Amino acid sequence: MQEVPLPALQAAQAKAMGPDEQWMPVAGTPSLPTHPFDPAAPAMSRNVPVMIGTCRTEQSGFLGVNPAMDTLSDTDLPKHLERWQKGEGEALAKAYRGFFPGRSNAELLYMAATDRSYFLDSTIQAGMRADAGGAKTYYYSFERPTPVADGRYFVPHAEEIPFVFDSLKHGEGIVGPLTREAQALADKVSALWASFARDGAPSAPGVPKWTPYDSQTRPTMVLDDTCRMVSDVRAEQRKLMLGYGSQQMANGRG
């Protein structure tokens, strides 16, 4: 494998992968003897603190590459949602219009697709790990809208990274221009991550105490211009998507 030229590997990957498929680790190998979160959190990392979280519209970073999403029609929204839960496109469109009246069809698609994938599974993982005891689990939801491209990406995949590493001047393509407000958030977020790496518990000046996660009250640090703790963030959406089960587990078994 090490001797195969990269273009040949990429060609093989393109041939092997379908449009909705993804590479995943293979359980039952020496490096991953059992599934990491099925049916419970792994005992081998029980005493390692963990931080888990997502951006509010993770999928906008992928789906939004298509400019046609900006003018997505009422008729097409359910069709696109079928990709995320077959047979439920109409139901999901109706539910999200009720959750977020007045939002564009593009934003509804990005939120629903994100909640079905990144968001739901991150809460499942965090809940399993918290319930297992041991070291604490901390959960966040990054919700600072990016002004890039007139805001059409909302809060895309990886937008929090330049804030985590306090590297806004190198990340204008995802976070927008360096402003006083953006830097103030970066000061807080980078301090949270640094203290977590150092002490196993995130804390920062000007940020409320970050309560560890549990599967009953689901304390969540919402990170935007005003960092705050919220119980069971996006609860209605989480419960709706939970009724369909874990997307990652379905993909891994399918």
Average of per-residue pLDDT values in the chain? 94
**Coil/strand/helix, residue 99:** helix
Q: Is residue 105 part of a domain?
A: yes
Q: Are 53 and 157 in contact (CB under 8 A)?
A: no
Residue 120 has pLDDT above 90, yes or no: yes
Which CATH number goes with the domain that contains 174?
A: 3.40.50.1820
> Which stretches of the chain are assigned E, i.e. beta strand?
50-55, 137-142, 219-223, 228-231
Question: What does the pLDDT look like over 64-89, one tens digit per residue?
Answer: 999 999 999 999 999 999 999 999 99
Q: Is residue 15 part of a domain?
A: no
Q: Is residue 8 part of a domain?
A: no
The answer to whether the pTM exceeds 0.85 is yes
Q: Is residue 209 part of a domain?
A: yes
Q: Is residue 34 part of a domain?
A: no
pLDDT band per the 50, 70, 90 thresholds, residue 20: low
Q: Is residue 42 part of a domain?
A: no
pLDDT band per the 50, 70, 90 thresholds, residue 251: low
> Which stretches of 143-217 are assigned E, i.e. beta strand?
none
pLDDT band per the 50, 70, 90 thresholds, residue 37: confident
- Number of domain units in the chain: 1
Q: Which pLDDT value is given to residue 56?
A: 98
Q: Which domain holds residue 217?
A: 50-253
